[in-house]
Amino acid sequence: MSTQGALRGVEYLNPLTQYRGLKVKKLAEALSGSSLRLGDPVLIDTYYSLYLPAPVLNEESTNVLCKLIVNTILNSTIGQRIRVKTVLEPFLSTIGAALFITEYVKQSSMRPLEPSEDRSRSIESHSDLIEKTLESTSRELERFIEVKRVVEGLEPGTLSVFSTEDYGLDLLRLARSADVMAILNALREIKADDIGSLRDYIVFKRGEKMGFELGFDVERLAPRSLTYPEELFYTRLAQRRLLLYTKMTRRKPGGVYVLVDKSGSMSGEKILWAKAVTLALYMKTLRSRRDFRVRFFNSQPYSLHSINRKPRASEVVALFEYIARVKSSGGTDITRALLTALQDISVEESKESTIVLITDGIDRVSEKPVKLMLEKTKSRLIVVMVMGDNKSLEKLADTYLRVVKLDRGEVLKVVKAVT
């Protein structure tokens, strides 16, 4: 079997090149559930055709299959569409190559292309097969990138990731879930700026220097103010117009605890929207390095899922799967759900936690015990009423939001209320 592929400048026996091919092979085998019989050059050429900024086809190569794959990726519209996302992105290039190889193996008999009377027909047939494989790869890669974007909180590098194969497989599993994709459709247009700033500062006189302002706080005097003549100095001091440093410190807000009503009255579009809000709140807390907890409830609270400030990819995938598989059913006990959340916060001694309650409000709420626990834990309550109203919750809430349109704008309204 030839050890050479169809790309110029690629050293096929180089350990790094072999490593890239091995990554693609392991992931493709994990996806297909069986071992691959393809040679290393096919794996390597597929990867580098997606990764390199300007790959060049070696017309003199005798590896016909590699030439077909490279030529189709470089010259087809679909191949160029994929490359826009994968060029100089090792992780996405590995994912894209593994998706391509998996689909190619699935659709083809993998018969070697040998010289024969039907050689031209065989090549044409394989070219069509590669084109169709690229179409499937493009669709799957789009879904994968969408899931990756949300899982990482719109901020790459926020997750603890140790294995490309494991992380890629986890995300691909999410991307192939219809329930997950239905939720993510509601978040498709949300950008990092919509979610909020990654760095959240508050004014603090002993904090970092972040600029200048006019005032009279002599502890923050800029050196230039000390050069004023004495009379001018005191005049400006009296006028509160001395040049001062603006000093700020990183705000350390408490965690976010989301309570989502999954009772029968929340079925359909309501619960789907509530799940999208939950994921948007997860993205905000991840960007601001806050703890995140979510619990669904109906007449009783269900299991609690927690994500710390620097979560592992596997923890986030488990959270997504948990949110996606929840179905609406049963009655509603908002009081019990709130007291359970407040008890969790009390036990963990979380400071300045924010509880976000998402419900349609069809229930009677006992105000007194909830109010006492809110005061005891110093927690802030944001109530999101989904096409409903509840006067007791309105009295208890620090922020009371009524949602009448289940769209992107209402999602952002809820996200921006969490500070």
The pLDDT value given to residue 357: 95
With 50 as the cut, is the pLDDT of residue 415 above it?
A: yes
| Domain residue limits, the chain | 15-151, 204-250, 256-417
pLDDT at residue 119 greater than cutoff 60: no
- Give the model confidence (pLDDT) of 57-99 as tens digits: 888 888 888 888 999 999 999 999 999 999 999 999 999 999 9
DSSP 176: T
Upper half-sphere CA count for residue 135 (Cβ side, 13 Å) = 7
The model's pTM: 0.74
pLDDT class of 241 with cuts at 50, 70, 90:
confident
DSSP state for residue 148 in the 8-state scheme: H
φ/ψ (deg, to 5) at 16: -65, -40
Please tell me whether residue 352 adopts helix, strand or coil conformation: coil
Which single residue is written with the structure tokens 């070219």?
127
Reported as type and span, the H/E element at residue 119 is: helix 119-151
Residues 304-322 have pLDDT tens digits of 998 887 777 788 888 888 8
Quote the pLDDT of residue 251: 59
Distance, in Å, from the CA atom of 105 to the CA atom of 102, rounded to the nearest integer, reads: 5
Six-digit token string for 214: 């006019």
Q: Which two tokens stand for residue 24?
A: 């693609």
One-letter identity of residue 263: S
Q: Average the pLDDT over 399-408 and give the result.
A: 85
| Amino acid 16: pLDDT | 92
Residue 394 DSSP SS3: helix
pLDDT in tens, 363-374: 888 889 999 999
What pLDDT digit, counting tens, does each position of 253-308 carry?
Answer: 678 999 999 999 898 889 999 998 998 888 888 877 888 999 999 999 999 998 88
Domain 256-417: give its CATH superfamily: von Willebrand factor, type A domain (3.40.50.410)
Separation between Cα atoms, residue 151 and residue 147, nearest integer Å: 6
Output the pLDDT for position 348: 79
Q: What is the pLDDT of residue 117?
A: 43
Q: Is 387 left (phi over 0), alpha (psi -120 to 50) or beta?
A: left
Closest CA to 356 of 271, 279, 258, 235: 258
Ranges 37-51, 125-139, 146-160, 186-200: which has the least confidence: 186-200
Average pLDDT over the chain, rounded to whole?
83
Residue 194 has what pLDDT? 63
**pLDDT tens-digit profile of 134-188?**
999 999 999 998 888 888 776 665 666 555 566 788 888 888 888 888 888 777 7
DSSP track, 282-349: HHHHHHTT--EEEEEESSSEEEEEEE-SS-BHHHHHHHHHHHHH----S---HHHHHHHHHHHHHHHT
